[in-house]
Structure 1
Amino acid sequence: MTGAEFLARSIAASGQTHVFFVDAVLRRTLLALNDLGVNTVLAHTEKAAAYMADGYARVCRRPGIVAAQSVGAANLAAGLQDAYLARTPILAMTGRKVPAHQHRNAYQEVAHGPLFAPVTAFGADVAEAADLPRVLRQAWAASVAVPPRPVHLDLFGLQAEVIETGTVAAAKPLDLSALRAPAYRAGPDPAAVRAAAAALRATPRVAIVAGDGAALSGCGAELLALAEALAAPLATSLGARGLVPTRHPLCIGVVGSYSAPPANRILDGADLVLFVGADTGDMLTNYWRVPRPGTRAIQIDADPLEFERSYATEHALIGDPRAVLRALAEEIGRPAARDRAYLEDAQAQIAAWRETIAPRLASDAAPIDPARLCAEITAALPEDGILVADTGYSGIWTGTLVELNGAGQTYLRAAGSLGWSFPAALGAKCAAPGRKVVCWSGDGAFYYHLAELETARRRGIAVTVVVNNNSGFGQGWPNLRRLAGNRPGAAETLLRFGPTDFTAVARSFGLRGIRVERPGEIAPALREAIASDETVVVDVATDIEARAPEAWAPPA
């Protein structure tokens, strides 16, 4: 086989349904993929293509595949940061000018290795087609290992033509379909389980924090079982939102910097915190203030590098979170006289906060309070729907006020890259064509990748794009206005833009748009958009002065 034929047949045999790219790269391979029934999605920027692959991979747990020519390598590397931080498997391939052209001022040629090193778990040069079977298998396996992360193959030739036209001696293509994230589910050390169980049984006020690693493991049922046995409030990271039903009596919501107030206060009252697949970073702990330094901690993680990162670990249990939680639950059993006072106090705090926020969820104000928009999305999202949220305020609004069923619904969030959500939503829809996908994007984020509306129309990818349109960057607006003092014009110059009618923008790309200016218009607009078989932009005029829930932190 030629390299192009081998690569195309291996991708198809491994169950991939879509490949995302920016021309000009791997043209022979892409033509072969089309012949094999694999959808090739041309994006308008390398970052958007990477975000599409990211959304695709987060839903189907197979590596998202993205490619760009040598000139676009730097842009593609920048697009992998979010996937790296979110622990998403991606196979990125770039063209690479041949050695004879290196160090001779070749057009727009820079070293690729340093660009990809910070955002990949594995990278390799592929100089000959004969190397493809070995390197492709190694890269694929590395991408779905623990923790899953992007990998990069630099294929010789500006458009990878050296690899495509070379010969592969393999008798058949690779079938890598069995390698999905997480690929390896190791069990825990029984002695460590016994020690941790004894500590948990002996401590009356235990809280559980489930992070992105727990979401990857899919251990929602196991978390609830252990939390019930320990009468422990259960919190999640933003990335694990929806791993359990958000209205479950044990669930206290997202903790950290993107938290509603009661979750952090509840966690602050714990004598011992059980971290499950949680990275203990600044966002999860509100800058390492919740739980407070010195709080006792037990940590479960499949990645040993997560132990002792931010908190001293009393007991470290290495293994797949689902397997470890099952072992812990079996060891702990059902304590007969577990003190439920801590849990009951937590439930009272959550109930009080829900009562406080309820008027905003039903607000009839115009411009619209985004809290009302959250309530309407909760009601409209199908039982198996996928909600994709951008970073910043989009993450806070959806992570604190959109309720999820913890069963069929999926929540995907940006790990920090503004503008990620719309292309990622397109990728998610490619991975799950039978499910409805709703994207929540601020207008500031939506501007990043407006051109992908054309991609959605051309490729027939149907998502509902809800634009929280407040004509500015709402999250930082009040602070900047205070900082500007008696210079309000200066604040507006820095953070306000528009107003833009995104329904007109959608129509210019051949798609539908629905403008929403009154709260009563939200529900019918969402129903119409979600029922559509094409991408629809729901442009919601919201109030930039409306504040999302603010995270609590202990006094200095």
Structure 2
Amino acid sequence: MTTEFTVRDAFFDFCRRAGMTTVYGNPGSTELRMFRDFPDDFSYVLALQETVAVAAAAGHALGTGNAALVSLHSAGGVGHSLGAVFNAHRDRVPVVIIAGQQSRAMLPTRPFLGADEPALFPRPYVKWSRQTERGEDVPAALAEAYRVAMTPPCGPVFLSVPEDDWDRPAEPVPHRAVRTGFAPEPAALREVADALNGAANPVIVVGPGVEDEGALPLVVELAEKAGAPVWISPLSGRSGFPEDHRLFQGFLPPVRDQLAARLEGHDVVLVLGAPVFTYHVHSEGPFIPDGAKLFHFDCDPAQTAWAPVGTSVLTTIDAGVSGLLDLVDKADRPAPEPRAALARPGAADPMDPAFVIEALRDHLPADAVIVEECPSHRDLFHARLPITRSGGFLTTGSGALGWGLPVAVGRAVAGAGERVVCVIGDGSIMYSVQALWTAAQQNVPMTVLVLNNRGYGAVKALGRRIEMDTVPGTDIPGIDFVTLAKGLGVPGRTVSAAADLDAALAEGMAHDGPFILDVSVVPDDSPAYEPWAR
């Protein structure tokens, strides 16, 4: 065996210096040389399917604020993972994806497992993608990929490595830093500040970029200084504003006319770190109320380019809001009317999902991190379980199911012992149920609460919107989630009676390691139900 410094040595040396010492993956033949003499200070977290590997790595990244490393197996493994890659891209999560490839000498013969055009395969849902021309260039490409992943807007990157590259001689990658924050031009800040100062009734819309860039305290200060109520953007993957604050108004719907109606009466709209806007179904009408001016702060040139209305300012949120705070006058506007308190549903069997969420709120540890993937109940979940601290909530803003459970596992692996609570639909969990096995092997502090309505409730609701009385393929009866989880190493309880819920939640939160609760809830079959309705 050679003793010279190799591509493998340089690769792990860079990962060590970048803080990427946990590898999520599912191994195969084209990755074996990568893991020869695997370093003792690295850990490998095995996922049983590549979607789980990428999403768990994303959860790890969201927990640490640093890019996470994931290893995929050749073309097939990359193909399996693409739903999670799509989510990571849309949700701006920095994941460094390394994919195995057959040896360079074999590539002209289109070998078994080989990727014909590996750099094109995951596009356009990665920020950067490459297979180097020479093996010795792999470490420098890795360093470039990491820097791209961590530059706002963050996101996944992809590097394909032929298996014989790992043993080639290489040089260490020199250390260098990239300072990624950037501020808007002063004239742009002045324009926005003047608009806020002259507004009769301004409003702020926050998106996931606020939390991703650590700007939540500054945004709270700006809202209070301007006296502006705050909404969270449609289908946001984070919270972005304390939901118990007196200025918080709720969540904008992903429907154009409904969204504009929520903003009616506001003459200046300031959007921070969010698309303008994300819609789920088509509707006519203005994007914002007639006569209102919209200003948009975001770090992504693509977002600022396609926004259909208003004036976009290219900036990281921290820098942009800091600049505004120096220019915005202290306003003396009355606070908005408090949001109406919601009555707590009574106990009934099967249970109202709102009853379950209220009970969950009673049992949550103070430092719990909530991961949500229950499309049928997302809005009632937010209405009844306010997120009050930065980092306390994760979901997907892109909509590809199978993200929540493995994200919760990765977030728990990256944590410091705080309880991670994954609230998930019975349809959603089956897209990546293998993540339970990884949770059991890692013995993570995680409680999985399945809101089991025995079907795809959100799809049924969308069908009713277009006057479909029945939607084929939306009923999913007959799954025993507790037995399934037990087979993967996770204990749990089935809860079909409201009288048993409190005891089950107490057990689930106190359990040493992962625990699943399969809770039967009323199906959302009401003709008036819409998953974004408030």
- The reply on whether 1:8 has 2:15 as its aligned counterpart is no
User: Which position in structure 2 is the counterpart of 1:366?
Assistant: 349
1:429 to 384, 408, 412: 412
Q: Contact 1:123–1:153 at 8 Å: present in 2 too?
A: yes
Counterpart AA for 1:437 = V
Change (3 A) 1:127 1:521: farther
**Contact persistence 1:51–1:424 (CA under 8 A):** yes
2:138 maps to which residue?
132
TM-score of the two chains, using structure 2 as the length reference: 0.89
Q: For residues 370 and 175 of structure 1, what CA distance do their matches in structure 2 show?
A: 52
Percent of matched pairs sharing the same residue: 23
- Report deviation, 1:265: 4.2
Verify: 1:187 aligned to 2:189, yes or no.
no
Kept after mapping to 2: 8 A contact 1:394/1:441? no
What secondary structure sits across from 1:504 in the alignment? helix
Does the Cα contact within 8 Å between 1:21 and 1:40 map onto a contact in 2? yes
Q: Does 1:530 align with 2:509?
A: yes
- Counterpart Cα distance in 2 of 1:509 and 1:133: 37
CA distance in structure 1 between the partners assigned to 2:26 and 2:72 by the alignment: 5
The structure 2 residue matched to 1:59, chosen from 63, 66, 77, is 63
Q: Which amino acid aligns with 1:107?
A: F
Matching of residue 514 in structure 1 with residue 510 in structure 2? no
Q: Which amino acid aligns with 2:145?
A: A
2:214 is matched with which residue?
218
Change beyond 3 A, Cα 1:264–1:381: farther
**Residue in structure 2 matched with residue 401 of structure 1 by the alignment:** 384
What is the SS of the residue equivalent to 1:282? coil
SS in 2 for 1:208: strand
Change (3 A) 1:115 1:84: same
SS of equivalent to 2:45: strand
2:240 aligned with 1:243: yes
| Matched letter for residue 381 of structure 1 | L
2:353–2:377 contact (8 Å) kept in structure 1: no
**Structure 2 partner of 1:169:** 171
Q: Secondary structure of 2:494's match?
A: strand
CA distance in 1: counterparts of 2:434 and 2:267, whole angstroms: 51
CA distance in 2, matches of 1:174, 1:258: 49
C-alpha contact (below 8 Å) 1:368/1:518 kept by paired residues: yes
After superposition, the CA RMSD in angstroms is: 2.8
SS of the residue corresponding to residue 227 of structure 1 reads helix
Are 1:20 and 2:24 counterparts? Answer: yes
> 1:474 maps to what in 2?
457
Shift of 1:146: 1.5
Task: Spell out the pairing of 1:35-74 with structure 2 (5 A cutoff).
Answer: 35-71=39-75, 72-74=77-79
Number of residues paired by the alignment?
521
Q: Taking structure 1 as reference, are residues 122 and 326 closer, same or farther at Cα in structure 2, changes over 3 Å only?
A: same
Quick one: distance in 2 between partners of 1:464 and 1:436?
A: 7
Deviation at residue 213 of structure 1 after TM alignment: 1.5
TM-aligned CA distance change 1:517 to 1:235, over 3 Å: same
The one-letter code of the counterpart of 2:49 is: T
- 8 A Cα contact 1:391 1:418, kept in partner: no
CA contact 1:376–1:523 (8 Å) conserved in 2:
yes
SS in structure 2 at match of 1:540: strand
Question: CA contact under 8 A between 1:209 and 1:276: conserved in structure 2?
Answer: yes
Native 8 Å contact 1:396 1:549 kept in 2: no
Q: Which amino acid aligns with 2:519?
A: V
Q: Give the C-alpha shift of residue 293 in structure 1.
A: 6.6
- For residues 384 and 41 of structure 2, what CA distance do their matches in structure 1 show? 40
Instruction: State the distance in 2 between where 1:265 and 1:376 align.
Output: 32
Tell me the alpha carbon deviations over residues 330-372 of structure 1, each in whole angstroms, 9 at most, x when there is no partner: 211313xx343xx43xx25x22xx3xx323xx33122111112
What is the rounded CA distance, in whole Å, between the counterparts of 2:108 and 2:382 in structure 1? 49
Aligned with 1:112 (options 109, 112, 118): 118
Per-residue deviation, 1:31: 5.2
Shift of 1:133: 3.0
Residue 529 of structure 1: how far off its partner (Å) = 1.6
Distance 2:467 2:262 in 1: 32
Q: Contact 2:208/2:240 (CA < 8 Å) preserved in 1?
A: no
Q: CA-to-partner distance for each residue in 1:193-238, whole Å, 9 max, x for gaps?
A: 2221111111111110011222212222211222122221101124
SS in structure 1 at match of 2:430: helix
What secondary structure does 1:115 align onto?
coil
The equivalences for 1:263-412 within 5 A come to: 265-283=261-279, 291-292=288-289, 295-307=292-304, 309-314=306-311, 316-335=312-331, 338-340=332-334, 343-344=335-336, 347-348=337-338, 350-351=339-340, 354=341, 357-359=342-344, 362-390=345-373, 392-407=375-390, 409-412=392-395
In 1, Cα distance between the equivalents of 2:211 and 2:500?
A: 34
Distance 1:305 1:293, change over 3 A: farther
Deviation at 1:442, TM superposition (A): 0.6
Select 2:421's aligned residue among 438, 441, 449.
438
Q: Aligned partners of 1:68 and 1:203: how far apart in 2?
A: 52
Q: SS in structure 1 opposite 2:479?
A: coil
What is the distance in 2 between the residues matched to 1:143 and 1:368?
A: 43
SS of aligned partner of 1:4: helix
Could you list the per-position Cα deviations for residues 130-151 of structure 1 after superposition, in whole angstroms to 9, with x for gaps in the alignment? 2133211111000011211111
- Equivalent residue in structure 1 for 2:127, among 113, 121, 126: 121
Q: Are 1:74 and 1:112, in contact at CA under 8 Å, matched by a contact in 2?
A: no
SS in 2 for 1:83: helix
TM-score, normalised by the number of residues in structure 1: 0.86
Which ranges in structure 2 are unaligned for 5 or more consecutive residues?
Answer: none
**Paired residue secondary structure (1:300):** strand
Q: CA deviation at 1:409?
A: 2.3
Task: Tell me how far apart the structure 2 counterparts of residues 249 and 425 of structure 1 sit (CA, whole Å).
Answer: 30
Deviation at 1:395, TM superposition (A): 3.6
Secondary structure of 2:348's aligned partner: coil
What letter matches 1:21 in structure 2? G
> CA deviation digits over 1:64-113, x for unaligned, max 9?
21112224222233430000010111111111234443353422433222
